[in-house]
Amino acid sequence: MDNFTQMMSNLSNITDDLTTDPTLDLFTTVAPTPKRGKFIMPITFRVADEIYPYSTYVLFGFGGLGNVLSFIILSRKSQSSSNSSVYLRAMAIADFLTLWAYFMVTYTKYYATHMQTDLYCQIVTWSQSAFQQMSSYLVIMISLERFAAVTFPLSVGRIFTRKVAIISSVAIAIAFAAINAPFFLFCESRFNQAICVLDYEHPLLEKWNKVDSAIAAYIPGIAILVLNVLIIVQVKKAQKLQQQMKSDKKKGGEQSGQITRMLLSISISYWILTVPMAIYFACNEYLFDFTDVYDYSDAYLTQTLCVILLLLNNSINFYLYCLTGKRFREEFLMVFFCRKPPPKALTTVTNTKSVSVSQISVKADDIKMQPAA
């Protein structure tokens, strides 16, 4: 998918045309130009340049911590028994690595420019795209599993087994690691500007960008929207049926409902936070004139805000789990705040077969004890 580095590369080409200084840093706000005494970068560009690095640091801080905590809690015995926990743990890893990749790009630009090499740029740019896409398609698998759970509750356990969850998670990781391999061909370092750029002269880049954008943004956005609508419809139908269940079945339904709400919150937040980026990529050529530096700066700010929303999606899952998942919240408090586990409700189990046999045997003994007439 076109990413933040592509925007920076394009803008760099424009500023090079506007200035006479060949060593101009991309983020220099004042530069000489042959037609003006000084060229001041538009305010939109400077705003984007200020908010992006700080947003990256903050999101990596609280989002990275949240993903680590999610992985720890979901790996505990009480949480890891469900098939959904396999996808959630894999997604926590993918989200953490996505945030790490964006953090490293920003960190090396401002504080460690000596690390900037072609190989380094290829690795971190590949990581940005590959792990982001892994996370997206894991959300699709979660939504698909939840749709099956609310639609075919009696057979979902046979379809989405733990083995299937593990295999599909590994397959997603391998697939998107391979799909994003072209970054090792297209990406290079522009050391004097401390950024990673894409080689626009490569004949395959434009075609690959279109395919990659569809895989990364359009397909997951449409799939998750459709699955969420179907899940909500099925949940409404299931709520009517649950009113007719017995008390023990209601408890199972409440637990399943909690899982559904938790996973549904992930899907909905994903859709809300990633759709702006998909819309931007679909419409940017019609909304902005990329040959004008002022219009391009507006596009730069727009994409910066979309990237921040995209990273926010990779940062908030732990907090959504705590808000919508009662069991997850209780487990977190028990592990990190030494809270006692909630008392388990006592249930009486009646074995009708053993009771009936016992009654029959007692009656038989009574008959034997009676004296013969």
User: Which is more confidently placed, 70 or 250?
Assistant: 70
Structural contact between residues 184 and 126, judged by C-beta atoms closer than 8 angstroms:
yes
User: Which is more confidently placed, 83 or 140?
Assistant: 140
Is the pLDDT confidence value at 22 over 90?
no
pLDDT 10s digits, 254-300: 556 677 788 888 989 999 999 999 899 888 888 888 888 888 889 99
pLDDT 10s digits, 189-218: 776 556 778 877 777 887 888 888 889 888
Q: Which two tokens stand for residue 275?
A: 């759709």
Structural contact between residues 126 and 176, judged by C-beta atoms closer than 8 angstroms:
no
DSSP string computed for 172-229? HHHHHHHHTTTHHHHEEEEGGGTEEEE-TTSTTHHHHHHHHHIIIIIHHHHHHHHHHH
Q: Give the DSSP letter of residue 292.
A: S
Q: Domains of the chain (ranges plus CATH)? A: 4-348 (1.20.1070.10)
Q: Give me the pLDDT at residue 72, please.
A: 95
Q: Give me the pLDDT at residue 366, please.
A: 43
- Give dist(CA 106, CA 108) in Å, integer: 6
User: Which is more confidently placed, 182 or 246?
Assistant: 182
DSSP three-state, residue 359: helix
pLDDT class of 30 with cuts at 50, 70, 90:
very low
Is the pLDDT confidence value at 367 over 80?
no
- Give dist(CA 88, CA 74) in Å, integer: 8
- Give dist(CA 284, CA 167) in Å, integer: 38
Q: Which range, of 99-103, 126-130, 183-187, 235-239, averages the lowest pLDDT?
A: 235-239
- Give dist(CA 219, CA 272) in Å, integer: 15
Q: Give the DSSP letter of residue 114.
A: G
Residues 6+ apart with CB under 8 A from 197: 5, 6, 8, 9, 12, 121, 187, 188, 189, 190
Q: Give me the pLDDT at residue 192, please.
A: 59
- Give dist(CA 145, CA 227) in Å, integer: 10
pLDDT class of 360 with cuts at 50, 70, 90:
very low
Q: Give me the pLDDT at residue 244, please.
A: 61
With tokens 């750029």, the residue in question is: 197
- For the beta carbon of residue 134, count every other beta carbon within 10 angstroms: 25
Q: Which range, of 55-59, 243-247, 303-307, averages the lowest pLDDT?
A: 243-247
CA atoms within 13 A on the CB side of 173: 15
CA atoms within 13 A on the CB side of 367: 6
Q: Residue 188's closest CA among 28, 5, 58?
A: 5
Q: Which two tokens stand for residue 49?
A: 């340049």
With tokens 């506007």, the residue in question is: 18
Is the pLDDT confidence value at 69 over 90?
yes
Report how far Cα 250 is from the mean position of its chain's Cα atoms. 31
pLDDT class of 115 with cuts at 50, 70, 90:
confident
Is the pLDDT confidence value at 25 over 50?
no
CA atoms within 13 A on the CB side of 75: 11
Q: Give me the pLDDT at residue 370, please.
A: 45
Q: Which range, of 92-106, 155-169, 201-215, averages the lowest pLDDT?
A: 201-215
Structural contact between residues 116 and 108, judged by C-beta atoms closer than 8 angstroms:
yes
pLDDT class of 13 with cuts at 50, 70, 90:
very low
Q: Give me the pLDDT at residue 213, please.
A: 84
| Portion of the chain with pLDDT greater than 90, in percent | 35
With tokens 């690595």, the residue in question is: 97
Q: Give me the pLDDT at residue 185, please.
A: 85
pTM: 0.78
pLDDT class of 37 with cuts at 50, 70, 90:
very low
Q: Give me the pLDDT at residue 240, please.
A: 74
